[in-house]
Amino acid sequence: MSSDHAQPTGRPAAEAGPHAGAAGTAAGAEAPFLELLSRGAPAEAYERPVRDARAAGRPGAWIAALEHAKFLALRVRADLEGRRRREAELSALFETAHDLAGLRDLDAVLQAIVQRARSLLGTDVAYLTLHDPAREDTYMRVTEGSVAARFQQLRLGMGEGLGGLVAQTARPYVTDDYFKDARFQHTGTIDTGVSDEGLVAILGVPLMLGQHVIGVLFAADRRARVFEREQVALLGSFAALAAAALDSANLLTETRSALAELERANAIIRDGSAVIERASDVHDRLAQLVLRGGGVHDVAAAVSEVLDGTVEFTEAAAAPAEGLQASRAEGHAVRHGDGWIAAVAAGDELLGALVLRGHPALDPVDQRTLERAAMVTSLLLLARRSAAEAEQRVRGELLDDLLDARDRDPRLLHERASRLRADLDVPQVVLAARLDAPAADADHEADARRRLWSAASHLAATRHGLAAARDGGTVLLLPLGAGDSATELARRTARHLGTAVHEAVTVGASATVEELTARPDAVAAAYGEARRCLEALHLLGRTGDGAAADDFGFLGLLLAGDRDVTGFVARTIGRVVDYDERRGTDLVHTLDAYFASGMSPARTKDELHVHVNTVAQRLERVGRLLGDDWQTPARALEIQLALRLHRLSVPARH
C-alpha cells in the first residue's frame, strides 16, 4: 500500500491524474507559440512546433495540445494584425483629414489620398476619376502606380466600364477579373487602356456630394484578387475624404472668387471716386477759364496740364482728316498715331479738333477729359461766332453804305470803319464771291449762302476788311498788301472760302481802289468791275478760280470799270514802245506793217522798202522784248489791238 501511495509523487506529470496532466500539457504546448507571438513571426512559422513534435514522436495528447495552442495563437495573431491594420487605417484617415483641414493644394491632397489607399489596400495601382458635367462623362484626375500613358488619359462615359457603372449607380463595384466580368459595358477604348496597364482585379467606390456622384476612387491589382468588405469600406472612407477635399476646394475657390470680385468692386469704387474727383477738378478748371473769358487755346493749355501732355486746337482743314472724321463719326476721342484726336463740332458742322500728341496710352478718364474739353471748345467757338456774327452784321452794314449810300458823310464812314479796325485809307480791292455748284433745293442753297457769308465775314474780320451778302453771293472789301496784286488776292480768297465751305467758290476782283472815304462812289464802281470779272470766269468755265480784269487781256478793257486803255497798251507793247523811244528805232511801225502784210516777212519788206534780212532782225528783236509766244493767235490779237489803240493815242499826246 505504502509503495502504491508513494509512487504518484515520483511520476512524470504526463502520467499524473487526468486534470493535472491536461494542465501541464496545455502550459507546455503554449510556450513556443507565445514566443512566436512575441517575435511577430509570420503565420507559416506557427506550423513548426507541431511539425517538430510529430517528428520527435511525442504523444497524441501533446500533439493535440500543440494544435489547440497553435489555433489560439493564430487567432490572437490575426486579432493583433487586424488591430494594427485598423490603427494604420485610422492613422491614414486621420492624416488625410488633417491634410484636408489645411487644404492648400487640391492636387496634392488628392494625390495623398490615392497614395494612402494604394498603400493600405496593398494594390498595384490606385486612381481617381472626376465627373465632367460639360461632356457628361468621367476623366482620369489622379493616378498612383500607373505606367501606361493611354490608361492615364482615359475618359469613361456613364455606364461604360466598371467606373462608369459606379458613377451611374452610385454604388461600389468590385471585379476579380475585369475582362471576364459581364456586368458592365466593355468598350474598346477602356479595355485597351486597362490592358495596357495590365489590370485584372478592380475595386471602385463612388465620390459623393450629397446625392450626386462627382467621381470614382479605384484600387486595382495586376493579378486576380478578392477584395474584402473591410477593404471596400476603407476605400469608401478615402472616397468620402476625397469628396470632402473637392467640396472644400470648390468652396475655397468660390470664396477666393468672391474675394476677387469684392476687390475688383472696391477697385471700381476707388477708381470711380478718383474719376469723380478728377472730373470735378477738370470741370472747375474749365468753368473758371470760361468765366475769365478764356479762349480755345487757353482750354488746350489747361487740358495739357491735366493730361500731362501737349494738347493743341487746330482748324478742321489742318487736322488729320482720317482721325478727325473717325472722332466725328464715333462721337468720342480716337487714337491717331502716337496721340489722340477729339473733334470739335456743333451739330453737323465741324469746327476743328483738339489734338493730343505724344501720349499713346490714355485711360478712359483722360479720354473723357479730352472729350469734355472738346465740347467746351465748341461752346467757346459758338459764343465767339455769335459775337463775330454781330460784328459781321455791323461790318456788312458799313459795306452796304459804301455801296449804296454814296452821299454818306466821309468822316462818319471813317469813324465807323476805325471802330471795326478797318483802315479805309489804304489801297483796297473789292471782291465778288459766289458758289457756282447747283443747289439740290432752296434750303440747301440758303444754307450754302449762309456758310459762304459766314466764312467771308470771318476772313474780312481777320484781314481788317468788310464783307456783306449781296446779289446771291458775297462781296468783300479787303486791303491790298505791299507787293500783292488783285489777282493773287482773288485766287487766295477763292481757295480760302472754298476750303471753309467745302465747295468751289469763284471770286472776281476789281482793280485797286484808293481814298475810299473821300470817294465813296468808287466802291460801287469797283464792285461792278468785280462782278463782271466773276461773270467772265463763269462763262470761261473757271469755276473755283479767282481773277482780276488784268488777267483777261484786251477783254479786261470791257470788264474794267475805268477802261484803262493806257495801262492795257503799256502791258501789251510797252517794252517795244520804250525801246523805240530810247534807241530811235521803229519797231512799232515794223509791227504795224508786219500784221498789215498778213505776217509775211516778204510782203513786209516791200511795205517798208527794206531788205528782208532787216525785217527778220527787227522781228527777232520784237520777240526778245515781247516773248517767244508773241505770234500765237491770242497774243497777236492783243498786240494788234494795242497797236491800234497806241496809234489813236499818239495824237492826243502831241
pLDDT of residue 196: 93
Residue 654: which pLDDT band, with cuts at 50, 70 and 90? Answer: very low
The pLDDT of residue 494 is above 80:
yes
Residue written as cell 458592365?
184
pLDDT above 70 coverage of the chain, percent: 78
Nearest to 123 by CA among 240, 248, 227, 258: 227
Summarised one tens digit per residue, pLDDT across range 331-349 is 788 877 777 888 888 776 7
pLDDT of residue 418: 67
pLDDT of residue 426: 82
Summarised one tens digit per residue, pLDDT across range 594-607 is 888 888 888 888 88
Cell representation of residue 264? 475688383
Summarised one tens digit per residue, pLDDT across range 251-306 is 777 777 777 887 887 777 676 666 566 666 666 777 666 666 667 777 777 777 77
Q: Quick check: pTM over 0.85?
A: no
Lowest mean pLDDT of 229-238, 521-530, 572-581, name the range.
521-530
Give 38-45 contacts, CB < 8 A, sequence gap 24+. Answer: 43/74, 43/77
The pLDDT of residue 519 is above 80:
no
The pLDDT of residue 21 is above 50:
no
Which amino acid, 196? D
The pLDDT of residue 518 is above 70:
no
Tell me which of 490 and 8 has the higher pLDDT.
490
The pLDDT of residue 390 is above 60:
no
The pLDDT mean for the chain works out to: 77
Tell me which of 465 and 11 has the higher pLDDT.
465
pLDDT of residue 174: 92
Q: Looking at the DSSP assignment, which residues form a beta bridge with residue 313?
A: 354
How far apart (Å, rounded) are the C-alpha atoms in residues 373 and 282?
9
Summarised one tens digit per residue, pLDDT across range 185-232 is 888 889 999 999 999 999 999 988 888 888 899 999 999 988 888 888
How far apart (Å, rounded) are the C-alpha atoms in residues 493 and 284?
41
Residues 6+ apart with CB under 8 A from 361: none
How far apart (Å, rounded) are the C-alpha atoms in residues 369 and 621?
72
Is residue 491 within 8 Å of 547, Cβ to Cβ?
yes
Residue 399 burial (C-beta neighbours within 10 Å; 0-12, 13-18, 19+): buried
Average pLDDT over residues 422-440: 79
The pLDDT of residue 126 is above 90:
yes
pLDDT of residue 8: 37
Tell me which of 389 and 230 has the higher pLDDT.
230
